[in-house]
Structure 1
Amino acid sequence: MFVATLALSLALPLAVRPLLVKLGVMDVPNERSSHERPILRGLGLSVLISMALVGGGTTAFAAAAAPDEAAWKFLLVVTLGSLCAGLLGFSEDLRGISVPVRSAILLLIAVSTSIALLWLASTSDLPSNAGLDVAGLPLWFVVVLGVYGVLFVSSYINVANFMDGLNGISGFHGLIAGLAFAAAGALSGLTWLLLAGLVLAAGFGGFLPWNLSKPGAFLGDVGSYLLGGAVAITSFAAFVAGVPILATIGPMVIYFGDVGTTLVKRMRKGYKWDEPHKEHAYQRLQQLGMSHVAASAINAGFTLAASILGLVSFFVAPVWWLLLLALGLALVVAYQLMPRLLAGKFAD
């Protein structure tokens, strides 16, 4: 599965690039951009197609082999939800969508996937992993989880879009998050999570060479929405299936931390939250004089560290999870301080 998705993601741009050129899907630098010349965008379409083909094919095979098992149903929700998020982004790339319509569709995706995953978790026989047991929860708490899922999924799609500003950053994020989810699936005995993680990692790993080599190309909204949707939906699915919560959110901590702290700082200064800017930590690292790859690698390194901390929760008692959470928050603080800590080095 990993090899198949990787091969498709590497090869499909050969067919997708001419289509995007014909459609004139170009990224023109603006106030938020970290590049200086127009570059082809929308190559995330190749990632979307590769993940949809392999994820859909695997789901169909699993359903035919064991129609009564829950695994293929979880894979189906993750695949369809991710596909819908990516298609929404592709519509934005092609012609643009008004904010109200885009927000409504994002909420629809988040609501439908959250409800479907909670229903699956409450009606399926799942292994116990010292995590959530949806079937044994009171109805009011399940409703609270549903609201959390809606806010979680819809917000992270926007977070991934905000963070897609440097060559390599989204590809690294998808690769690391996918491998972390695959590891969580292996540790928890959830085969569908292992497979979903491998598809995610291979899809965005295959995009990296196209993004980092000349003349380069961007994911576009199709890719960043796909990334945010796939990561968030897989994370929430793992959580309601009983995977320890820290293992499900580990890959997302740095992204959430960067966007959250940046927005708070800007709003305290009186700026509108949705105004274009270049004040994220990853952007400030690049503005020091770092290459895109170097700044993206720093972000990826912190994301990898947070993901490993999350996976450690499989091996320690829940009483130690607070310590792991504190260490994860410390990583967010350290990451935010990196531009200041490295400023003197680049000034020299």
Structure 2
Amino acid sequence: MMPMFLSDPVLAVFCLLCAAFFAAGLVRVMINLAVLDHPGHRSAHENPTPKGGGVGVMAAFFLFFPLVQDITGHSVLRADVILTALATALLACVSWLDDLYQWPASIKFVAQCVAATMVVAGGTALPWPTPLIGAILSVLWLVFLTNAVNFMDGLNGLISGCLMIGNLLVAAMGLYFGVPDLIWPALLLAGCLCGFLPFNFPKARIFLGDVGSQGCGLLAGTAALYMTQHSTQPSGWLLGPALLFPLIFDVLFTLCRRKLAGYSLIQAHRGHLYQVLHRSGMNPVLITLCEWSFVCWGGLVAFLAAPFPPLEGAILAFVLLMLPQLGWLAFATVRTRRHPVGPW
């Protein structure tokens, strides 16, 4: 028999630790490489700061993923795994080149659509209402969520922390929701983000960049689709959207508000709630910690709603998820009246 100190779970945990340190090492390299993000009119930072920390996160994830899967007895030679990996690698590469050369938004959008289509072609897609409509909705979901994560990556530690906490919650509740296959990949991505986070929070020495935010966004959207397909709980499909709800709410509210105000939806801006609160003088660390707490609340809501029938579970979850977001919106409204920030 294999000694306990060489058992599969111990080896897998050791790989997670190695991935975190490897990601941290690559992040240090990217800091020294100094591909700078110069402050613009929508930036929260005032000084040029290196970007591309997501290179460390993505590289560590791809390097250790096959090893962790093999150690834990999960095959990587499956269509859904292979195409998801290729799609994420494609999007990460295009995003990194965009970080370097500032390509037109149309190129990034095409890359997002291609990557989303590859994921769905691998079989990770909504099974309803029909296979074709489910596939179309899945592509739209993946493109939207990839952009939502990218839009929300504008404050130290906000996105990397939210995604790290979300992945830890997926791993913690994987057995309860009937998706044990996601436990180790979620832990691995959380470990890679943990290697990056100390360089970005509370003070940013480097940013995640599009390479990290878009790559992680695609993986998060894919995991949510996988849970919808495979969860054994009646309302288990809620776990992904509930964990991501703070990001989804902020993006959808901002888009709707800007549309009603007659602003361009594709123009860069600082109108997201977290940006408005930061502009009002609120401590950025406190803003980030509040967003992290919303993700934890989403995990609790999904846990409570999971045993309910789909319709009842969705109604219960929506009401509970909206409560802190409406409070967050009311707080932003009151604060900006006391500390004017100009047009949202």
Pairwise TM-score range, normalised by the shorter structure: 0.7 to 0.9
Per-residue Cα deviation, 1:163-222 (whole angstroms, up to 9, x for no partner): 000001012111122023223422133321112221222222221111126561111111
- Residue type matched to 2:89 in 1? L
**Following superposition of structure 1 onto structure 2, how do residues 322-337 of structure 1 map, counting pairs within 5 Å?**
322-337=315-330
> Which string of whole-angstrom CA distances, capped at 9 and with x for unpartnered residues, describes residues 106-128 of structure 1?
11110110121348xxxxxxxxx
Separation (CA, whole Å) in 2 of partners of 1:150 and 1:331:
29
The Cα shift of 1:53 comes to 1.6
Letter in 1 for 2:333: R
Give me the whole-angstrom Cα distance separating, in 2, the residues matched to 1:272 and 1:217. 29
Equivalent residue of 1:212, what SS? coil
2:36 aligned with 1:29: no
C-alpha distance in 1 between matches for 2:249 and 2:203: 31
The residue that corresponds to 1:83 in the other structure is 89
Work out whether 1:263 is the aligned partner of 2:252: no
From 308, 332, 338, the equivalent of 1:339 is 332
User: Does residue 280 in structure 1 map to residue 272 in structure 2?
Assistant: yes
The normalised TM-score by structure 1 is: 0.83
1:307 aligns to 2:299 (yes or no): yes
Residue 124 of structure 1 corresponds to none
Which range is displaced more, 91-100 or 153-162?
Answer: 91-100
Aligned to 2:225: 236
Paired-residue identity, %: 23
Closer/same/farther in 2, CA of residues 141 and 203 from structure 1, 3 Å limit: same
Alignment of 1:213-252 (within 5 A): 216-242=205-231, 244-252=236-244
Report the counterpart of residue 135 of structure 2 in structure 1.
146
Higher mean C-alpha displacement, 145-154 vs 206-215: 206-215
Match of residue 114, structure 1, among 110, 115, 120: 120
Shift of 1:306: 1.8
Q: What is the letter of the counterpart of residue 221 of structure 1?
A: D
Alpha-carbon RMSD = 2.7
Q: Which residue of 1 aligns with 2:62?
A: 52
Listed one character per residue, the Cα deviations across residues 37-80 of structure 1 (whole Å, up to 9, x for unaligned) are 10011011111111112212233456xx576xx99665545444
Q: Report the equivalent of 1:186.
A: 175
Stretches of structure 2 lacking an aligned partner (at least 5 in a row):
1-11
What SS class does the counterpart of residue 143 from structure 1 fall into?
helix
After superposition, the Cα gap between the structure-2 partners of 1:316 and 1:177, relative to the gap in structure 1 and judged at 3 Å, is: same
* TM-score, with length taken from structure 2: 0.84
Once residues 102 and 218 of structure 1 are traced to their aligned partners in structure 2, the CA distance between those partners, rounded to angstroms, is 19
Q: Which has the higher contact order (CA 8 A, sep 6+)?
A: 1
- The 2-side partners of 1:338 and 1:117 are apart by 42
**DSSP 3-state at the match of 2:200:** helix
Structure 1, unpaired ranges of 5+? 120-131
- Judge conservation of contact 2:174–2:183 (CA < 8 Å) in 1: yes
Letter in 2 for 1:37: N
Q: Is the 8 A contact 1:32 1:276 kept in 2?
A: yes
Q: How far did 1:97 drift? A: 2.7
Residues 159-170 of structure 1 mapped to structure 2, 5 A cutoff: 159-170=148-159
